[in-house]
Amino acid sequence: GAGVSQSPSNKVTEKGKDVELRCDPISGHTALYWYRQSLGQGLEFLIYFQGNSAPDKSGLPSDRFSAERTGGSVSTLTIQRTQQEDSAVYLCASSPHRDGSEPQHFGDGTRLSIL
């Protein structure tokens, strides 16, 4: 079946521009996560959505970062006024529910490069 889909796969933009990254989770998965993976480093949690509950935004590094999830499905991560330190791979994951016992399914990520 279809996995987690992310678009675009690569994005190059100039410093100061806004970018939107999209994630289509696996159908029926109620939990959706965004992570950032910088070169040579592990995964940094950004934000988490679970059903209709308020999202857990505790990992967002600054107020330039925001995310929404429409209709409990597709999610968009927006970075405003991009900085060079925002360059990274942004990974989205989904899982059936949030008790944590089920593994997260990851997309292939969006590689963001800020010039």
Partner 1 sequence: AQSVAQPEDQVNVAEGNPLTVKCTYSVSGNPYLFWYVQYPNRGLQFLLKYITGDNLVKGSYGFEAEFNKSQTSFHLKKPSALVSDSALYFCAVISRRDYKLSFGAGTTVTVRA
Interface residue list for partner 1 (CB under 8 A): 4, 33, 41-43, 45, 48, 56, 91, 93, 98-101, 103-109, 111
The candidate with the shortest Cα–Cα distance to 73, out of 109, 34, 35, 23, is 23
How buried is residue 59: exposed, middle or buried, by Cβ count under 10 Å (0-12/13-18/19+)? middle
Shortest distance (Å) from residue 75 CB to partner 1: 15
> Which residue lies nearer to partner 1 by CB, 57 or 81?
57
Shortest distance (Å) from residue 46 CB to partner 1: 12
